[in-house]
Amino acid sequence: MRPRQWTKNLLVFAGLIFSGRFTDGESVNLALLAFAAFCLVSSAGYLLNDVLDRDSDREHPEKRHRPVASGALSPSTAMIAAAVLLAAGVAVGAAANTVALLALGAYAANQAFYVLAGRAIAIVDVFVIAIGFLIRAVAGAAVLGVFISPWLLLCTLMLALFLGFSKRRHELALQSNSRSSLRGYSISVTDQFIGITAACTVLSYSLYAVQSETAAEHPLLYLTIPFPLFGVFRYLQLVHTEGDGGNPDATLLTDPWIAGTVVAWIAVSLLVMSDVLGSGG
């Protein structure tokens, strides 16, 4: 089920935070339901992926320890669990609203395409993963019926591409043969992809924090810019000096600089969106 990777689903709270509705009980409840639904559906996808990949995962120095690949969990049990989780996710999504169900459907379809075809094609594989992140961000705003800035969506897409290409670079460095799409990558080309997407991530977020409608309503939003900038720099440092980048979700929880930056960014964002920092002016 990979609960460690549920951190990816925190993106559904972006709409709640940047709409300033994090003090509204009904909005918080809807966002929590959407988050829970995405966790359940994503875990169903992970189980399906591990069943289909069990042979190739055994060739990977890290993935061979996964329950299905190692033999600790039978494929049939994993598939039953996936079906139960999918049904539970749909039920939780329905408890939110119809929009949540539509978003879950789009996310499930994107996951299915990745597992069945997308993951075998270099570049396409990372883009499909990035679209999954984009769906989460859109869903978080859509279930609340709020507008989300195109700049913030672009930032989400670029950040997901940045992390995805960093992961491919890590797999290349391990000389893993567990993923067929790796034949379409090289260290040098992934370094270029990483550099481009890192720059675009910071630039698109900066434009959001300065030029968006949200920034016009909350002029101090620009104070949040240093946090994603530092976070991207720190991640680049981990990728290029420590050979990290294979598990972004683990890095978020284990690297104190990354974790601290995310917490600080959330805290300042909440203060800015609630206009606390400008109330004494």
What digits encode the pLDDT tens for the residues 254-281?
A: 899 999 999 999 999 989 988 766 554 4
Please name the amino acid found at residue 142.
A
Nearest-angstrom CA–CA distance, 65 and 138 = 34
Q: Which of 1-10, 133-142, 270-279 has the highest mean pLDDT?
A: 133-142
Which position has the token pair 């109330």? 279
Q: How far is CA 163 from the centre of its chain?
A: 9
Widest Cα–Cα separation across the chain: 62
Nearest-angstrom CA–CA distance, 14 and 31 = 9
Q: Number of H helices and number of E strands within the chain?
A: 13, 0
Nearest-angstrom CA–CA distance, 251 and 104 = 26
Sequence-separated (6 or more) residues with CB below 8 Å from residue 55:
none
Q: 57 pLDDT band (50/70/90 cuts)?
A: confident
Nearest-angstrom CA–CA distance, 118 and 136 = 19
Nearest-angstrom CA–CA distance, 41 and 123 = 24
Which position has the token pair 């939780």? 92
What digits encode the pLDDT tens for the residues 176-221?
A: 766 789 999 999 999 999 999 999 999 999 999 999 998 999 999 9
Q: 136 pLDDT band (50/70/90 cuts)?
A: very high
What is the number of residues in the chain?
A: 281
Mean predicted confidence (pLDDT) in 48-75:
84
Nearest-angstrom CA–CA distance, 179 and 163 = 17
* 255 backbone φψ class: left, alpha, beta (φ>0; ψ -120 to 50): beta
Sequence-separated (6 or more) residues with CB below 8 Å from residue 249:
4, 5, 7, 8
Considering the entire predicted model, what is its pTM? 0.86
Mean predicted confidence (pLDDT) in 61-83:
88
Mean predicted confidence (pLDDT) in 121-126:
96
Residue of 154, 179, 152 lying closest to 167 (CA atoms):
179
* Structure confidence at residue 168 (pLDDT): 93
CB distance 4 to 253 below 8 Å: yes
CB distance 182 to 171 below 8 Å: yes
CB distance 169 to 198 below 8 Å: no
What digits encode the pLDDT tens for the residues 218-250?
A: 999 999 999 999 999 999 999 999 888 878 888
Nearest-angstrom CA–CA distance, 244 and 82 = 30
* 157 backbone φψ class: left, alpha, beta (φ>0; ψ -120 to 50): alpha
CB distance 179 to 235 below 8 Å: no
Return the beta strands (E) in the chain as ranges.
none
Sequence-separated (6 or more) residues with CB below 8 Å from residue 226:
none
Nearest-angstrom CA–CA distance, 137 and 121 = 25
